[in-house]
Amino acid sequence: MRTLRSILKHYIHPPLSRMYYRLAGGVRFSGTYASWEDARAHSMGYDSPEILDRVKQAMLRVKSGEAVYERDSVLFDKPQYSWPIIAWLLWIAALKDNRLNLVDYGGSLGTTYYQTRRFLSHLRECRWNIVEQRSFVEAGQLHFADDRLRFHESLDACLKQDHPDALLLSSVLQYLPRPHDFLEDIIRRGFEFILLDRTPFILTGNDRLTVQKVPASVYPASYPAWILNFDRFHARMMSDYELVADYESTDTANIPVVFKGLIYRRRQHA
């Protein structure tokens, strides 16, 4: 899931974090592996209890208002917004009678929710459902869940309780063991909108399974990561969806990849 990204956003000043990655050549990918198990054996993984504890402590400070926006704390020196995501969420809400109901898959303890909530406060209704690992769900339900923010261990568990219009995949698709199977599953489920943010793609060649390494000066961690071929991914999406908008983020890497954000809307005949 996306837990390491949460740590970087909440424990490193954005300019400092960007400086580390710039000096290290951007996001660092290493090796090419034949299987997820092989890549996992050559990485540290991202299910450490320490990761959960650090994310929880940081998010509690965000929730309380002593970090990120209000007090310019050590977690952030200024707000970091994904303006395309904010615009897309507001557009979806406008189409839905000023209501927003979405699934944030791999959403940690509410990273994107807390970044965007000030722009969603005027909505008649906001239902933000996070699907995460069990340990994160337990922490989320205990410390962060409210009438807007909910936590679930699976899509099935979420869809038993709610009927979201949109699915948000923010820097998460690349960390799933079988991303193409996952895409088939979410397409079958019929979400009207699918949003992706900060997802790495290659423009030529086959999908590549690699290991992403975080600079030790930022956080000592590494984990398997897919870099999907964009044309193959996009062609599959376009069979059932239409592309509403896309953009390229400013993320860089040590190999030729492009980080994209995309929003798809389900075709009426699909």
Task: Round to whole Å and give the CA distance between 243 and 262.
Answer: 7
Task: Round to whole Å and give the CA distance between 5 and 221.
Answer: 11
Q: Cβ distance 80 to 14 under 8 Å? A: yes
Reported as a pLDDT band with limits 50, 70 and 90, residue 217 is: low
Reported as a pLDDT band with limits 50, 70 and 90, residue 57 is: confident
Q: Cβ distance 62 to 10 under 8 Å? A: yes
Asked whether the predicted pLDDT for residue 8 surpasses 50, the reply is: no
pLDDT of residue 211: 97
pLDDT of residue 221: 75
What are the structure tokens assigned to 149, written together?
């923010």
Q: Write out pLDDT tens, residues 130-171.
A: 999 999 999 999 999 999 999 999 999 999 999 999 999 999
Asked whether the predicted pLDDT for residue 173 surpasses 70, the reply is: yes
Reported as a pLDDT band with limits 50, 70 and 90, residue 261 is: very high
Region of poorest pLDDT, from 120-129, 197-206, 212-221, 232-241: 212-221
Q: In CATH, what class is 3-266?
A: alpha beta
Q: Cβ distance 166 to 195 under 8 Å? A: yes
E strands, the chain, in order:
28-30, 99-105, 125-131, 149-152, 166-170, 193-202, 208-214, 221-229, 241-248, 258-266
Q: Cβ distance 52 to 9 under 8 Å? A: no
Q: Could you tell me whether strands 28-30 and 125-131 are parallel, antiparallel, or unpaired per DSSP bridges?
A: unpaired
DSSP letter for each residue of 224-268: EEEEEEHHHHHHHHHTTEEEEEEEE-S--BSSS-EEEEEEEEE-T
Q: Cβ distance 78 to 105 under 8 Å? A: no
pLDDT of residue 60: 83
Segment 240-254 mean pLDDT: 94
Asked whether the predicted pLDDT for residue 270 surpasses 90, the reply is: no
Asked whether the predicted pLDDT for residue 204 surpasses 80, the reply is: yes
Segment 252-257 mean pLDDT: 93
What are the backbone dihedrals phi and psi of residue 256, each rounded to the nearest 5 degrees, phi first?
A: -70, 95
pLDDT of residue 68: 59
47: left (phi over 0), alpha (psi -120 to 50) or beta: alpha
